Amino acid sequence: MEKIKAVQIESPDKLRIIEMNKPKIDSCNNVLVKIKAAGICGSDVGIYKGTNAAATYPRVIGHEMVGEVVETDGKTEKIKVGDRVIIDQVTSCGTCYACRHGRPNVCQNLQVRGVHIDGGYREYMAVPEEDCYILPEKLRYEDAVLIEPTTIAVQACSRAELKEEDELLIIGCGALGSRMLSIARLYGCKIIVADVVDEKLEDARKNGADFTINLLKENIEEKCKEYTTEAYGPTVTIDCACTKDSLGTAIKVTGNAGRVITMGFSVAPTEVTNFGITSKELDIRGSRLQNRKFQEVIDLVDEGKIDLNNKISHTFKFTDAQAAFDFNDTHDPSIRKIVLTMDE
């Protein structure tokens, strides 16, 4: 049996490079992809550190994966050998309540590549044709990795039912928050971005934020009033910081009849009151993964509406994943997005 290399989290804090059988195509997983690059996401870090409640071990992690199709079963319609593709991380049962209501991203039997089943930090993957999307021609593999976090942003804005008249607060402007900004600005609404790092806030202003708030130096409640029409507060708050306290902050600052979108996976208790939600009749909505949003993002890239070039800050060979995760841990301010590459 031919072997390939992979990055496996054996158990929390134990990363190793393993050899595993090279995947083979079958009637279900009918496309073989040679993986070229895969991003490191906050959730990968969470699985590595044992803080992702959804993960099971041992696990080959990575869910932001792109590569080249090297084999098919000959029956594919959309995908052919030689295509450059990104792989959808969501696999679902198709029959549960969520699936029947068009929401496979929260399938009762959800199996996410890189979380519940093996993911993209390896040399080859066999996947169904319908989970492959053809990459924009001009995008390098390393940059194309960012299509996935952008789909997460598209999902959150769709869950928020964002409209031009909204006044949006994005809490957190890391890899996810900056993707959120790039999608939210397409709606033409007012955007306020909050973070703790001045450099990230400066980036946010350059990339379309109307106002920014440094959470360490400024009072977010006061600033949200100052920056919104008639001191109403944001009509939509999307929490891209996903810390224990960011939900409470979002509920506090969002205006009456507003929407709060949560994206975090923290299981730490946090203080939220009935009054905080009921008195303003807030909608608190979770946004998880994405619901078949890849083509939408690829179209936005092709139409020139979003630019995914020059966003990644560091690349490491995937066999140096330990060094990449260690470096990520330093929280060096230069880190925007780290990508692992699989080419020799």
What is the DSSP pairing of strand 236-239 with strand 167-171?
Answer: parallel
Which residue's CB is nearer to Mn ion, number 147 or number 220?
147
* Cα–Cα distance list, 3 to 8, 319, 343, 344 (Å): 15, 15, 16, 15
Which residue's CB is nearer to Mn ion, number 41 or number 213?
41
Q: How far is the CB of 43 from Mn ion (least distance, A)?
A: 6
One-letter amino acid of 109: N
Which residue's CB is nearer to Mn ion, number 172 or number 234?
172
Q: How far is the CB of 30 from Mn ion (least distance, A)?
A: 25
Exposed, middle or buried: residue 267 (CB in 10 Å: 0-12, 13-18, 19+)?
exposed
Question: What tokens does 114 get?
Answer: 């890189």
**Residue range at the interface with Mn ion (CB under 5 A); choices 12-20, 34-42, 201-209, 245-253:** 34-42
What is the C-alpha end-to-end distance of the chain, expressed in Å?
Answer: 21
Question: What tokens does 183 get?
Answer: 């999608």
Which residue's CB is nearer to Mn ion, number 64 or number 118?
64
Number of residues that bind Mn ion (CB under 5 A): 3
Q: How far is the CB of 53 from Mn ion (least distance, A)?
A: 16
Q: How far is the CB of 15 from Mn ion (least distance, A)?
A: 18
Site for Mn ion in 231-290 (CB under 5 A): none
Which residue's CB is nearer to Mn ion, number 145 or number 236?
145
What are the strands of the beta sheet with 3-11, ordered from one edge? 14-21, 3-11, 59-60
How far apart are alpha carbons 253 and 295 in whole angstroms? 34
- Which residue's CB atom is positioned nearest to Mn ion? 41
Which residue's CB is nearer to Mn ion, number 35 or number 41?
41
Interface map 42-71 toward Mn ion (x if CB under 5 A): ----------------------x-------
One-letter amino acid of 244: K
Q: How far is the CB of 151 from Mn ion (least distance, A)?
A: 9
Say whether residue 41 binds Mn ion (CB under 5 A): yes
**Residue range at the interface with Mn ion (CB under 5 A); choices 76-84, 98-106, 131-139, 148-156:** 148-156
If you write DSSP's letter for every residue of 111-175 in order, what string do you get? EEBTTTB--SSBSEEEE-GGGEEEPPTT--HHHHTTHHHHHHHHHHHHHTT--TT-EEEEE--SH
The residues that touch Mn ion, with contacts defined as CB under 5 A, are: 41, 64, 149
